[in-house]
Amino acid sequence: MSAGIDYFGKAASFKNHAVPIIIVAVRLSIALLAGVLFVFGSGPATAQAPNASAPAKPDNRRVLLVFGDSISAGYGLEKDQSYPALLQKKFDQEKLPWRVVNQGVSGDTTSGGVARMQRAIERLPAVVLLELGGNDGLRGLPLTSTRDNLEKMIKMFQAAGAQVVLAGMTLPPNYGPDYVKGFEKIYSDLAAKYKTRLIPFLLVDIVTKDMKYFQPDGIHPTQEGAKIVADTVMKTLRPVLK
């Protein structure tokens, strides 16, 4: 999502979650240590053979790829505060053999997502949380192009052997009821057609009357909001992590 747009418009319709219920790369670096023990002395010396280049232990955990925009990238938060980073912490605490790869890009649209699909597929994800489309809606782009792009990404990820979890969004009411309903319907229709799991509205659990879980822009979760979003995602992810 792009900064500076009031995503919800702080509309009263969100007061009681009246909207339909709609995903930080964790990079591991292993330093290779080489040690050489030299023993000096006049008597018999014993020397330990040097461990010149111990190979890095392979990471055999399955990959959960978060493929989204600034909400997934953790806009306005520290690197370890985004909801994908918090998902990794949950996996580690529960000793789940999963590694989160965050490919959230601030400001990205569905067409941008299509353009970087090859790099995403190269990560060999077992599960993909697809969180794109919000910027399309905020820019008022044609619904047909948003739908076509999301459909193309779902098909490509599934063809690569990944399970897709689709994270939906909604729009402020000032975009007009027809556009908003049509936008929301994209996610439910595609989830039904391709039998993907669906989070109808990714941010539903942080929508409150005072909007306290959102940053001042009204779009992006605060640190506490990101924790709630991670819980929301985890509810849908848990069955596919087994």
CATH assignment of the domain containing 172: 3.40.50.1110
The enclosing H or E element of 98 equals: strand 98-104
Give me the domain span that covers residue 83: 12-25+61-240
- Alpha-carbon distance of 109 to 1, in angstroms, equals 8
Tell me if 48 is assigned to some domain.
no
Tell me if 98 is assigned to some domain.
yes
The enclosing H or E element of 157 equals: helix 143-159
Count the domains in the chain. 1
Nearest to 217 by CA among 134, 142, 145: 134
Nearest to 203 by CA among 13, 26, 14: 14
Tell me if 163 is assigned to some domain.
yes
Q: What is the pTM of this model?
A: 0.79
Tell me if 1 is assigned to some domain.
no
The residues annotated with a catalytic role in the active site are 70, 217, 220
Tell me if 217 is assigned to some domain.
yes
For 75, how many CA atoms within 13 A lie in the half-sphere containing its CB? 23
Tell me if 18 is assigned to some domain.
yes
pLDDT tens-digit profile, the chain (242 residues)? 654 444 454 443 443 444 333 333 333 232 322 332 333 344 444 445 555 566 777 888 999 999 999 999 999 999 999 999 999 999 999 999 999 999 999 999 999 999 999 999 999 999 999 999 999 999 999 999 999 999 999 999 999 999 999 999 999 999 999 999 999 999 999 999 999 999 999 999 999 999 999 999 999 999 999 999 999 999 999 999 98
Tell me if 34 is assigned to some domain.
no
Tell me if 3 is assigned to some domain.
no
